[in-house]
Structure 1
Amino acid sequence: MTDAFSKQVEQIKTGNGFIAALDQSGGSTPKALRLYGVEEDQYDGEEAMFGEIHAMRARIIKAPDFTNAKVIGAILFERTMRGDIDGKPVAQLLWEDRGIVPFLKIDKGLEDKANGAQMLKPMPGLQALLEEAKGFGVFGTKERSVIHEANAKGVADVIAQQFDVAKTVCNAGLVPIIEPEVDIHSETKAEAEAMLKAECLKHLDALDDNQDVMLKLTIPTNDGLYDDLADHPRVLRVVALSGGYSTAEACERLARQPKMIASFSRALTEGLSKQQSDSEFNDALGSNINKICSASVA
């Protein structure tokens, strides 16, 4: 274990702050840009679209409040990892200049719904991607599935697949963030979360001593439900996704979870606009960062 990796592990385990999710992919980028004040008729084609989102992410990363005083990690999209900011690879800049631990989104989207859940699509070339990520200085990965209802088979299948991928990531020398999101609109959300917890504990108990993971979960209906997961010796940290809640509601719910910190995407960028001056942009982002950090360390 390198000195840098050891420092990153310690920061993720004990750091006061949250993990920023800057990993919108091709399907979600147009919506993210619209919220940022960039309409689809303002760019021509995929390359221009990704150029706009990269510029937005660079603006966020370079903002005064985007440091490890409040942001302990950041999740990147593949194109962002391969890009640079001011001539420096993004993951390297995050760690060396901002003190923020870099992660990479590795999933390729979701399968169609079956048994009340959506599994991960196949990930061809995963091993090569993990090696590439290590070369860029990435610390860990993130892969997202979705659970829509309390269907025992669907929940079990999602968690089993997530842990299979996690073991591959661990064997490559990276730390996986396992993300089985439970839909906040599910009529059986609380029941699905109880199933998820039981399945996660079963798989966590079966991990080897050198296989450490993180969990990214929907903020639970029953406060403190995931405390046992956070206390498991194989879990570095349990982080929360906002899942469609407003920033205010997500932060209010998160503040009631003593052993979860945030890993928000839309809530982080709420109210940001390309048309804002740097001062206006930095003030708005700083306000979001303060709210999310406060809820994470409450």
Structure 2
Amino acid sequence: MIPDVALFEVGPRDGLQSRGGMVSTESKIDLIDGLSRSGFRRIEATSFVSPRWVPQMADAAEVMAGIERCPGLRYAALTPNLTGFERALAAGCDEVAVFASASEGFSRANLNCSIEESFARFAPVLAAAKDADVPVRSYLSMVIACPFDGPTDPAVAAHWAHRLIEAGCYEVSLGDTIGAGTPDTLDALLRTLLVDIAPDRLAGHFHDTTGHAAELVALSLERGLRCFDASVAGLGGCPYAPGAPGNVDTRRVLEVVEAHGLSHGIDLDALARAETIARGLTRD
């Protein structure tokens, strides 16, 4: 039976990459295998980016070669350019993701280009993915606020979300990247987005920097969203708020989903075993 709510587990990529430091290939494989046995339908396993910029993901191909694949589970990878996409395809990734920012300041700081230029950069990825029949997901960061530009206008975030869908992305993950969101600011964003974007084209990607992530998940559920990014055992961090919590904990999201009387399809006992692996990585 298909669950009411889908969780996109991002711990192995976004969580570990945000955490900093190096994790062994074997440990990454153990974590992904543990998550695979927990019932997730999509796991962001790794990122095919230049090891010069993201050394934590230099072993992406080895990780993909070493995992034990579960039927019906899509293993995803972040692929910012055509070279990354080709490597991901060769490694057997089932889907890929591209990313953009809703704020010019963050786009220039993180990608060293304007938002419009970032779309031009990943356009070849979308074209190649269409030819290869590979689904493409997108991340849109700074949808609530940016450390460089301040609050993000909901209309601006909606504009770039539309552009991502028009470009061929099947889903836009709305990133409250620095955890600045409150129920009021998220409500303003969703009211703007949901005028002409169906909720099944959107996912919530919330950080728990200020402790509001569970409230944001609850509000999103009430507005009709049914997909959320989450990180096992809260792996990750917020680079713009040192020492603050980062990616929302997978189990916390599941608790909110259950409180709303919705199903999620995750085996909580298997998840507990994956959490033990993840917590071991935070002590490395």
Q: How would you bin the TM-score normalised by the shorter chain?
A: 0.5 to 0.7
Query: Quick one: which amino acid aligns to residue 238 of structure 1?
Result: L
Match of residue 63 from structure 2 = 80
Match of residue 227 from structure 1 = 194
> Take 1:169 and 1:295, find their aligned partners in 2: how far apart are those partners?
38
Alignment of 1:116-265 (within 5 A): 122-124=81-83, 126-130=85-89, 132-133=90-91, 136=92, 138-149=93-104, 154-182=114-142, 184-186=145-147, 187-191=149-153, 193-202=154-163, 204-205=165-166, 211=168, 213-219=170-176, 221-223=185-187, 224=190, 225-228=192-195, 230-231=197-198, 237-242=201-206, 244-246=207-209, 248-257=211-220, 258-260=223-225, 261-265=227-231
Secondary structure in structure 1 of the residue aligned to 2:5: coil
Moved over 6 A (4+): 150-153
- Give structure 1 stretches of 5+ with no counterpart: 1-6, 33-39, 41-45, 108-121, 273-284
Distance 1:295 1:182, change over 3 A: farther
> Take 1:157 and 1:168, find their aligned partners in 2: how far apart are those partners?
18
Query: Quick one: which amino acid aligns to residue 124 of structure 1?
Result: T
> Take 1:178 and 1:271, find their aligned partners in 2: how far apart are those partners?
21
1:247 positional shift: 9.1
Once the two structures are overlaid, the 10-residue window that deviates more, 17-26 or 149-158, is 149-158
1:102 equivalent among 69, 72, 75: 75
Alpha-carbon contact 1:255-1:295 (below 8 Å) kept: no
> Take 2:174 and 2:73, find their aligned partners in 1: how far apart are those partners?
21
1:61 equivalent among 36, 59, 71: 36
> Superposition RMSD on alpha carbons, in Å?
4.1
Alpha-carbon contact 2:217-2:253 (below 8 Å) kept: no
Query: Quick one: which amino acid aligns to residue 249 of structure 1?
Result: H
Distance 1:254 1:163, change over 3 A: farther
Q: Percent identity?
A: 10
Secondary structure in structure 2 of the residue aligned to 1:245: coil
| 1:143-177 CA distance string (max 9 Å, x none) | 23445457999333334544553333222211111
> Take 1:295 and 1:140, find their aligned partners in 2: how far apart are those partners?
31
1:252 positional shift: 0.9
> Which one has more relative contact order, counting CA pairs under 8 Å at least 6 apart?
2
| 1:38-97 CA distance string (max 9 Å, x none) | xx7xxxxx6x623223323333333xxx21xxx44221113432212xxx3xxx32xx2x
Distance 1:106 1:203, change over 3 A: closer
When Rg is computed on C-alpha atoms for both structures, the one with the higher figure is 1
Query: Quick one: which amino acid aligns to residue 155 of structure 2?
Result: A
Alpha-carbon contact 2:175-2:204 (below 8 Å) kept: yes
| 1:166-193 CA distance string (max 9 Å, x none) | 33322221111111211744353332x4
